[in-house]
Amino acid sequence: MFHSCVLKKNLLRPVCALLALLLVTGGLTGCGNSSQKQVRKTSFFLNTVITITLYGTEEETLIDRCFELCRDYEALLSRTLDGSEIYNLNSRLTDTVSDETAALIQAGLSYSRLSNGAFDITIGSCSSLWDFSAEAPVLPDKAALSEALTHVGYEKVSVNGNSVTFSDDRTLLDLGAIAKGYIADCLKEFLLENGVRSATIDLGGNILCVGEKPDGSDFKIGIQKPFDEQGTPVIAVSLSDWSVVTSGIYERYFEEDGTLYHHILDPSTGYPCDNGLLSVTILSEHSLDGDALSTACFSLGLSDGMALIDSLENIYAVFITDDYELHYSAGLKDTFSITEY
C-alpha cells in the first residue's frame, strides 16, 4: 500500500448537513466526558462538507490551518478548478507537477495496476461527460461516451520524477476517487506534528481517526444504511487510529426512465457500475488506501472485490448488496467490535 504523505513547508502557512454522507458520525464519535475540552468546525472544500473535531484542546487555529491545507490541495488536485495542476495537465499546459501531485498520481497508478484497471485514474475523459451535481442531470451522448472510453487506460500515463507524460493526447486524469483519502492522511500528519493526539477528520464521510478518545476508549463510527435520508447507521465499528471510507451508489445519482445512474463509473464501459452492490466500506490504517480500494472493490463486484481485500494485510471491508445483506471480509469481526442495528 502507498502510505507516503508529502507536506511542503510552504503549505503550512499559519491561518488564524450533508444528507448523502457515506458514514454517519454525529453522536457516535462524541466523547463520553462532556467536560472534556474539544473543538469542532465545519467548512466546504473539495466539493464536499468537511468536519474536523479535536479533543483535549480548544485551539481553533489548528482546524483553520487544516482548512487552508484543504484549499491548497484542491488547488493542486481538482480536475475542474481552472489553474490546478491536474487541470493544467489535462489541458496539456504543462507536464511538470509538484511533489504532492506526482506522488498521488503514482499512488493512483499503483492502485490501477493492483485492480487490473477496475480503479483507473484516467477515467477523466468519461467522468467529464457526467454531471451528477447538475440541477437536472442528463445522460451523456452515447457516441461521445464511446469515443471518450477509447482514451481511458492507466497504461497511457507515466511519471518520472515531477514529469507526467501521456501516450494518448486525449487521456484525462481524475483523482476524485483517491484525493480525499490522501488529503485526510496529510491532515492527520499535520495534527500529530502539532501535538494533537485525539481527533476525527471527516472529509465528506471519509472518516479518519487520530488516536483514540481522550478517555482511552475507541471511536464508534457508523456505516450508513444506503438511501436512508436520516443517515441511520446499519452497523457501527469501534476503532482507534484507523480510517473508514465508503463508496456507495446513494451519494450522487439521478434517475431517468426508471433507471438509477450513480457516480461510480465502470472504466470498461464509461457507465455506472451495475453489479448488485449498494456500497463498499474499507477499514484501513491509512485513508488513501480506503479511498482507492472502496472504489476499486465496488467496481470489481462482491466476489472479486472481496478476494482482493482478503489478499491484503491489515485491510478489511464491508460490502452491502442490493438485498441489504452485509458481507464481511475475513478477520474483520475478529479485529473490531461490530454493532449491527
Nearest to 210 by CA among 194, 231, 188, 226: 188
Are 281 and 317 within 8 A, CB to CB?
A: yes
Whole-angstrom distance, CA of residue 100 vs CA of residue 6:
6
Residue 284 main-chain phi, psi, to 5 deg: -150, 165
State the DSSP code for 148.
Answer: H
Question: For the residues of 265-329, what is the DSSP string, one character each?
Answer: B-TTTSSBP-SSEEEEEEEESSHHHHHHHHHHHHHH-HHHHHHHHHTSTTEEEEEEETT--EEEP
What cell was used for 27?
453522536
User: Which whole-number Å values give the CA distances from 2 to 108, 114, 184, 290, in the listed order?
Assistant: 9, 12, 14, 11
Q: What are the angstrom distances between the C-alpha of 280 and each of 17, 131, 283, 292, 309?
A: 22, 22, 10, 11, 11
Cα 264 versus chain centre, distance: 12
Is 20 a known ligand-binding residue?
Answer: no
Cα distances (angstroms) measured from residue 172 to each of 103, 222, 298: 17, 35, 22
> Which DSSP letter does residue 159 get?
E
Residue 295 counted as an annotated binding residue? yes
Q: Confirm or deny that 168 is annotated as ligand binding.
A: no
Side-chain-facing half-sphere of 128: CA atoms under 13 Å:
24
The answer to whether the CB of 221 falls within 8 A of the CB of 237 is yes
Binding residues: 177, 291, 295
Residues tagged in the binding site annotation for Mg(2+): 177, 291, 295
